[in-house]
Each structure stands twice: as C-alpha cells, then as structure tokens.
Structure 1
Amino acid sequence: MVGRNTVPALSPTATVIPTEEHRERAAAHHQKVQRYTEDFLARRHAGKKHPVEDFLFTYYSFKPGQLARWHPGAGQILEGAGTGEQASWKFYATVPDGTDSGGATVDVAAFCTERASIIDFAQRLLSQTAARPAQLGCFGLHEWAMVYRSAQHGQRHDQVSLRLGAEGTDEVVESLNIRCTHFDAFRFYTPSAKPLNTLQPSRETQIQMEQPGCLHANMDLYKWAYKLIPAVSSDLLLDCFDLAWRIRELDMRASPYDLQDWGYEPVRIEEPAGRAEYTRRQKAFSEEAQALRSRILSVVENLEGQSL
C-alpha cells in the first residue's frame, strides 16, 4: 500500500529534520512558489493568457499545487510526521524517529521499483548530455522555424504579432543556419522548416543528440526533477524551475514575436549584436544548467544506496 506503510529501520545515512524546521521550510517553499504561480492562477480564473509566463504551467504537466508541496528528498526524515499528511503522500513511509508518532520519509525502495524506467532514462539522458561540449550559436532559431511560412501553416501564438512580419521572419530563417538538436522543439517546426534544419532529431535519437548548450534541454531539467519527485528535493526542483523561468524569457525575447507591449525588449538575433547577446546568455545558462544536471544525477546515483 502506498502511504502509511512502515519501514522498520532507519537508513544509516538518513537525516532527521526537526518538526519546527521542516514546517518552516515547507512554509518558506510555498511562499517562494506563490511568486511564480499567483499571477498564472489569477489569469486562468479570468480566462486570460500570457505568451511567456504561462508556458511552464501549460507545456509541462506538473501543476502549481504540486510545485507548492515541499519534499525534503530521499534520505531525509520529517520528525513527528508519521501520523500527519506527509505520511499519506505517494512514495512515503513511516519510520521510528524517537517520537510517539514516528517520522515520515521517502520509501526509496518503492520509488525505485515503480519509477525504474524513468530513473534509467533520466540517468542515461542527463549523464550523456552532461558529457558533451555545449553547442552555442543556434540563436534561438527554433522559435522562428515554428512560424516559418506561417501564412501557409498557421501561427502558434495568435495573440501576438511577428516583429518583422511574415515575410521578414521567413527571410531570417532562410538567411541563417538552423541546427536545432532538441526533438521537442524540432517537432513543432512547420513542415516547410523541417528540411532546413541541418539535423533531423527524433525521439529515438534524443539521448544521442541532446547537448548542454540547448535552451530547451536545460529548461527540461525542471521536467526531470519533477518526474523524480519526491526522491529529488523541492529545493532542487525549484532551482530547476527558476532556471527554466529565466530561460523561457530569453527564448521568447529572441523569438520572432513582438512582446514589447508585454514588457519584453527583443534580443534581435537577426542582427550581429543580438546574436552575440544571445550566445553570451546561452553560455551562462548552459553553465548553470550543468551544475543542476550534476545535482539531479547525484540524486539518481544515490537512490540505490539509500534504498531502505
């Protein structure tokens, strides 16, 4: 049974988080998450959309309420939570912790059994991506390729206009080298744009093609972190979310869309200065993402040793 199951002995490496501390950390996490979610939830209630900020809540499957729930991560014991709400959460178990009610902790054995395929795929994808050099200078052309010849295929974001118009956008796509390595961006290209990409990524070649300079691969660290919840801590999850949030802004500022009415100045990748700015920021994000990728891999690699 998931939840309220009891693990008879503590892991030798387990850390007990005192009751007051884990309550404070959960409350602080909830407050941090509210900064990102409250506007989205208000817009959703009002039936409104935001072309930049809604993305992490609509493209990815993790809900705002799930993001707001604080998890300490595998190998941590919430003191006195054995009869509380946490013990009923999926992949949690109760353990002796010196209190009458016992503590709540992630049942790593159950998690590893049920999520074995996800753990395996994440380990292979993230480790192989981390080992490759970052390819910079794609200039965010994937967003342009998604609207290339959009008069024929329809525009993705119909609530915003194209900065250069349809013809100007098409000219940029045709004048620069498109070399996207990320399948989940490539699959949204218009049919006319796909042959222009120097690579033809597929789901089958994802592990072989992803590289740490790709903005979308680095945004997806958020996805892999939430797929590994609750073994991954919410602190790490929110660090990945925050990176994805900032990457999304650059992704759209460098896009063909006119977002100035929304408060976003464009990164004009159709000009040399804009391409230089994009590459500089892409490099910084890549370095930040590599550190997060390493942290996720550390959790994955420690799961077997922490199994109770």
Structure 2
Amino acid sequence: MTDTIVVEGVRKAYGGKQALDGLDLVVGGGTVHAVLGPNGAGKTTAVRIMATLLRHDEGSVRVAGYDVRTKAAEVRRRIGLLGQHAAVDEELGGRQNLEMFGRLHHLGARRAGTRADELLERFGLADTGRKAVKQYSGGMRRRLDLAASLITEPQVLFLDEPTTGLDPRGRAEVWQSVRSLVGGGTTVLLTTQYLEEADQLADRISVIDGGRVVADGTADQLKAKLGGDRIDVVVRNAADLPRAAELLPGDPDVDEDRRLLSAPVSDRMAALTETVRALEGAGIEAEDIVLRRPSLDEVFLHLTKEGAA
C-alpha cells in the first residue's frame, strides 16, 4: 500500500496565532484516515492546505504524488472535497445539480448527464433525481453533496465533518456511502467531531491538538493507551460512591449524576470477581457491573487533555 497523502512539518499562522505547528501526517492509499481534534485544533486548516485552498508557511505536503504548492493543478485534478456546508443548489433537482457540476468540470453535456445518472444510482437517489433538493431529507442532501464531490472520479476525497447536523439515520446513510467509495479504491481523509464516526469508518486515526498530531494509530491501538479494559460500577445509592471508589482498583473516575464508577483493570475476570465480593462485603448494592474496552471518547479526552497540559 502506497502513501497517498504525506504531510511533513507543516506550519500555518494567522496573524501571529499558530494554527498548525509542525503537523506530520501520512495517509495510506485506499483507506479511511480520520483526523480528530477539539475546535481550533487545526483540522479544517490542514484540509484546506491539502486541498490547495490555502498555502502553508513551512513544511511540505504531497497529495496523490504531487506537491500542493508547486503542482496545485495536478492535485486538483485528483481530489474531491466535501466541506462542512452544503454546496448544492436547493432550487434545482438532484440530477440538475450533478449535471451543473459536471459542466463546471468541463465534462461536456453528454458525459455530465451520464455521470449524474451513475452517481444518483450509486447513492440511492435515482428515484429523486428530478425532485428539488429543498425537498430532500438531511441524509439525502448530504449524499447528493458527496455525489457532487465525486463527479470527476477523484483518487482522494476530503470529507470535512460530513455528517454535522444529521440525525442517526442520515449519518448511517453517509457512512455506508463512504464505505462503498473506499471499497472502490478511493482514499478518504475524514475530519469529524463524532467519535463514533471515526470508530466506525477509520482504518487509522490521528488526533490533533494545538496544531500537531498528539497520537496516531488504529482505534484499538489508541484505546490501548488507556490501559486496556475497564470496569464500570453503577451503585444504587449515590451516598455509597465514596466508599465504593475505595474498593475499586487504581483511581477510578466518578460520575455522581449517573452514580457511576469507572476504573482500568489488567485482569478482567479477577477484577470482576474481586469487585463483586468487595462490594457485597461492604454492604454496597450495585445496579450494574460491566467489563468493557475504553471508548474512543475517553481516549480523545485523555489525549487532548495531555496535549493542552
């Protein structure tokens, strides 16, 4: 597998404020690579640089084998971009929108029409192609946006928070579309604030904070940074939380509103047995006890907190 995107030591400042501070990023071809980070971490700035919409101050960026600064036209021929906000015309039908994008990309009338039909079929919009986009659901509109970004069959697709504002059904529709793209060989770089989205879609995840990558790996590798498995205990009486916390291993996290204690464990079954016995011995009643892997949300909060420290 070759590297389709290579970012090395990239810096970008706005009026003296450093948006990117030595960003390094490598994205393998034919994969989904998610970039996570809090607001202001530099995610959108990085995408705009990789998509040739913004010039970086220092460092190098190569996309599909071409330098984005010296070969910007070659990069643009090989990429698609789906931004945070809809780019389609709501008064036009779905097919009209796609034909318009095709003509803007100099496909010619016949090829633009053929490509529009192919994409409508691919994204399950064939029956709605003549309906005005303003009558589309949120998920349908976002799928049409995605179709428009693929009008030229790009090698690399940048998705900048593609499911913001969508309900769970609409989000699932977009996820399925992304999976089908990658199955066809497209490389996808995804920025998102939905941790579940990265967990569901990404082959690899980079966490950005303060304009640089603070962690990189698969979802499982990042979760392992929190020490493997965790035990969650929900006590029936909130007043028992302090005593219960003393019985759990390590320094457990306490959520008073949910009456929840959560602690890392190394030996799953031994920890479960010991916790049950300790709670019973102390006369503390538990509503639920669960062994689980850390969530990507916990990893994200842990890593970005470290980056901010």
Task: Report the TM-score when normalising by structure 1.
Answer: 0.26
Of Structure 1 and Structure 2, the greater helix share is in 1
Q: Which has the higher contact order (CA 8 A, sep 6+)?
A: 1
